[in-house]
Structure formats: C-alpha cells, structure tokens
Structure 1
Amino acid sequence: MKLVSWNVNGLRANVAKGFLTYFEKVDADLFCIQETKLQEGQITLDLEGYEQYWNYAERKGYSGTAVFTKKTPLSVTYGLDQDDSEPEGRILTLEFEEFYLINVYTPNSKRDLTRLGERLEWEDRIRHYMIILDAIKPVILCGDLNVAHQEIDLKNWKSNRGNSGFTDGERTKMTNLLEAGFVDSFRYLYPEKEDVYTWWSYMSKVRERNIGWRIDYFILSERLVSSLIDAQVHSEIMGSDHCPVFIEIEV
C-alpha cells in the first residue's frame, strides 16, 4: 500500500501548478493533503477510483485537510476525541479494517510564539487520541506537524534554536509522542541521512540551496514498523513550499 502526504499550500493554486500530474504518477492508495485553503464547492476534482473526504475550516481561505482513498473507510471522524467539530479543519481520521489513518495539519506556534501554549496543548490531545486508537488497532499519523524534531532535521539548527517549529517545548512533545509507542518512519529507515527536508521558505534561492526543514511526517505505531517497505521525500515536486512525503507499507 502506498501513502502520500502533502501540504499543498492552497489546493486551487497547486492544481494550476501540476498537482494532478503528480497525483496520477504516484498512484497512491491513500493521498492526504493539508492546507487546502478552500470551502466546499470551490473546487471539483475528478479523481477516478478515489473517494474524497474533506474537512474545511470555517475561516475562508485558511487551513483545511482532505484524504483521497481507493479503499472505502469503515468510519470517518472530523475532530479529536468525542468532539466531532474542529473549526480550523486540521484533523481527519479514517478507520480501515487494518489501521486508523490520521491526517493532521498541526497549528503553527507563530513567529512570536503567541500560539505556543495552544500548540503544546494540541500536542497533548493528539498524543492522547493516538494512544486511545492504538489500543484498538495500529495507527498511521501523517501531515505537516510543524516541528523539526532533531538538529539533523533542519539546515540552520543553531540559529533557529528557540524559534517557532524548533522550540524545546515542541521538540519535547514530539519525543513524548514517539516514546508513547510510535515511530518516525523516515528516521527509522534513515537515522543519519542529512540534508533531507520537506519545507523551504519562499525567500530567494532558499529552496535551490536546500536550506530547509523536515516538518512533514508519517508516524507509525511501533508494531507496523516490520511492515514498512520504504519512506521517501519527493523534494523534486514543486507547486508548494512543502514537498510530498511517501511511504510504502505491507498491510
């Protein structure tokens, strides 16, 4: 089974830049996107063979997630815990027979860290939610998690220490999640691979020089690791300030 996750940074703009070409080429069984930045009815995608599930933000042109799947889920949830409402459209859970898939667009703590407290609370809720689901069946979490976990996960880690996405609090929450029985699929397979990033600033020549951050992930329940075939970062794919991330797993 092939899975893709991509923060598209505005789906309508991304479609104009070649989204469907990549979508068709990668031929994923599950294709998850974040930051769709649209409301219901603002786009029509003809994705033959796929069912489409969308979680729209209440605020126009903001946030939002979607999952395109070849396999019909047993259930779909649009929030956390028992709360099935999530005004920013940041989480979408599909239950399949073999696992839960959670597609997440984690809140940014903002440049001045004014949203850091809310962000850290979100991390605790996500971890709690994943632990509950993992007790039932394995979990695959994917999306833009807005944190570079280790120093190897961003180019200029010394100058970014303490900045949004690389604060001690955000990094510790990622550590806590992994210690709760989950695995960063890419780092599991490539623990020492350097210069692999999934997000780059739009500043001039930053992406060309590969001055980036790895903040997009597939996080797996530990018992799924033996089924993991590969994890890839498709940094050559343009259309967004993020690139797609990919895993192949034998379910």
Structure 2
Amino acid sequence: MRLISWNIDSLNAALTGTSARAEMSRAVLAQIAQKKPDILAIQETKLRQEGPTRKHSQILEQYFPEYEFAFRSSEEPAKKGYAGTMFLYQKSLQPKVSYPTIGAPEPMDFEGRILTLEFNDFYVTQVYTPNSGSQLKRLGDRQIWDQKYCQYLKELDQKKPVLISGDFNVAHQEIDLAHPKTNHHSAGFTDEERLGFTNLLAAGFSDTFRKLNGSVPNVYTWWAQRVKTSKVNNSGWRIDYWLASDRLLPQVKESSMLDTGDRQDHTPIELVVDL
C-alpha cells in the first residue's frame, strides 16, 4: 500500500489559481497522481464548510479518477476557510470515515484538523496540528491539544494498529531543522512542543522516516515561503510525519519525501507499507 500526505496550503489556490506558485502546486498534484497512491491525505485545505465546489471536484476527478474523497472543513465557532483536511482514496478500499473530536481547547475541535479512515485490520488517520502562533500565544492550548491527541491515538491503537500522517508543526530533534540554535524558542521547536511529540512516540508509535533512514541530516519537509532563499539554501524544517503503531514497523518498507523542485512551503511525504 502506498500512502502520501501533503499540506497543500489551500486546495482552491492549487486547483484554480493562476499564479506561478499555483502552477507549481498543480505539478506536484500531477506527480502524486502518477504514483497512484492508495490513499492521499491533504492538510490545510482552507475550504468552505460545505467542502469542495463542483469545479474543485471536477478538477480532482481529472487528477484522481477512480478515487473517492472525504473532507472536513472549519466550522463555527472557528474561522471560515481555515485549516481543514481531506482524504482521497481508491474506490475499491471503501473505508469507514470518522470525524473525531478530542476535547481540545475551543475552537480547535471545530477547525477540521483530524480525519480518520477505518479498515478491517487498521486505521489511517491524519492531523493538522495547531501552530503555537506568533509570540507563542497558543502554546498553552497546543500543549493540551498534544495530550488529547495522544490519548485519541492510544484509544485507536488499542483496537487496531494505526498509520498516522500530517503536519505536526514540530521539529522533534535538532537534526530536524537547519538552524536549531536560533529557533530554540520559535513556534515548532519549543521544549514543550518537542516533549509533546516525544510523549506521543513513547505511547507506542514510531517516526517511520527516522526508523528507516536513521540520522540522515539535512532532510526536511517545509521551507518558509517568506524567505526567498530558504529552499535554495535548504534552510528547512521536518515537521510532516508518517507515524505508525510500533507493531506495524516491520511492515513499513519506505518512508520518504517527494522532490517538489523550487516550490517552497511543504513537500509531500510518502509511505510504502505491506498490509
């Protein structure tokens, strides 16, 4: 089974935009489509509460024929057109879709951040973890989120093994970002956020990339758009992950990143697992 996860930073912009960046995003979608993943997880869709428009659906059908999709969008009291997640999966799979709430600080449970597919023998779930924000204004709520989300995954794992993807908004170790010393107190690399991720792994889950690839350096999944040279200089962060229940790790064959060329922001991450 081949699974791909990508923070797309606005599905509408990627599908219908006319900028050079939109063209690069569509090239990434075409690259993903060529791989024919069984499941594609997308974060930060930024769709309206009603989900994709007819035009969006038609364009997705062009890229991904023979796929179904499930989505979750931000809804009141959360901001409109904010966050959001989506799965595209091959029609033959027929999973059960759920839209979990975890008791997170309001309005996080209404921001469309978690979407889960249930199969006979395993779960696939994705997350768009809340960012702690400028001046770490949301760090306290983020710590509660991390605890609640960990508990949710543990509950799933007690029933069936779990594959977990998404933008976790944290670089776990110093090797996971280009400039750890100057970002020690930045959102995504605080001691609190890193501890939250450590606790998640300790609950019975593995970072598949590190387990398969060891301490390979200078491999990232996100480069800041606001810094024009971030991708050229590879000044990135690894904040997107495929995690797996520890007992699934022997079945994981590949965990890697797709090459998106000059496009900054997030790059898709890929998992190949023998299920």
Shorter-chain-normalised TM-score: which range? Answer: over 0.9
Is 1:245 equivalent to 2:269 in the alignment? yes
Give per-residue Cα distances to partners, 1:121-171, cap 9 Å, x unaligned: 111111101111101100111000000000000000000002100000000
TM-score (norm 2): 0.86
Alignment check: 8 A CA contact 1:200 1:211 kept: yes
Matched residue, 2:115: 92
Alignment check: 8 A CA contact 1:109 1:116 kept: yes
Is 1:145 equivalent to 2:168 in the alignment? yes
* TM superposition shift of 1:78: 1.1
- Aligned residues with identical type, % of pairs: 42
* TM superposition shift of 1:26: 1.9
* TM superposition shift of 1:237: 5.1
3-state DSSP of counterpart to 2:124: strand
Pick the structure with more helix per residue: 2
Matched residue, 2:32: 23
* TM superposition shift of 1:101: 1.0
What is the CA–CA distance in structure 1 between the aligned matches of 2:215 and 2:177, rounded to whole Å?
13
Is 1:79 equivalent to 2:88 in the alignment? no
**Mapping of 1:26-65 within 5 angstroms?**
26-39=35-48, 40-42=51-53, 43-44=56-57, 45-46=60-61, 47-58=64-75, 59-65=79-85
Deviates more, 1:198-207 or 1:17-26: 17-26
Give per-residue Cα distances to partners, 1:172-228, cap 9 Å, x unaligned: 011111111110000001121000000011111111111000000001000000001
Alignment check: 8 A CA contact 2:7 2:44 kept: yes
What is the CA–CA distance in structure 1 between the aligned matches of 2:83 and 2:103, rounded to whole Å?
21
Matched residue, 2:214: 191
5+ long unaligned stretches in structure 1: none
Aligned residues: 250
* TM superposition shift of 1:7: 0.2
User: Structure 1 pair 41/245, CA: closer, same or farther in 2 (3 Å)?
Assistant: closer
User: Structure 1 pair 26/239, CA: closer, same or farther in 2 (3 Å)?
Assistant: farther
**Mapping of 1:119-198 within 5 angstroms?**
119-198=142-221
Deviates more, 1:63-72 or 1:193-202: 63-72
Matched residue, 1:2: 2
> Runs in 1 of length 4+ with deviation above 4 angstroms?
237-240
Alignment check: 8 A CA contact 2:150 2:200 kept: yes
**Mapping of 1:111-122 within 5 angstroms?**
111-122=134-145
What is the CA–CA distance in structure 1 between the aligned matches of 2:70 and 2:264, rounded to whole Å?
21
Tell me the C-alpha RMSD between the 2 structures: 1.7
Deviates more, 1:196-205 or 1:85-94: 85-94
Alignment check: 8 A CA contact 2:2 2:38 kept: yes
3-state DSSP of counterpart to 1:213: coil
What is the CA–CA distance in structure 1 between the aligned matches of 2:94 and 2:6, rounded to whole Å?
20
TM-score (norm 1): 0.94
5+ long unaligned stretches in structure 2: 16-21
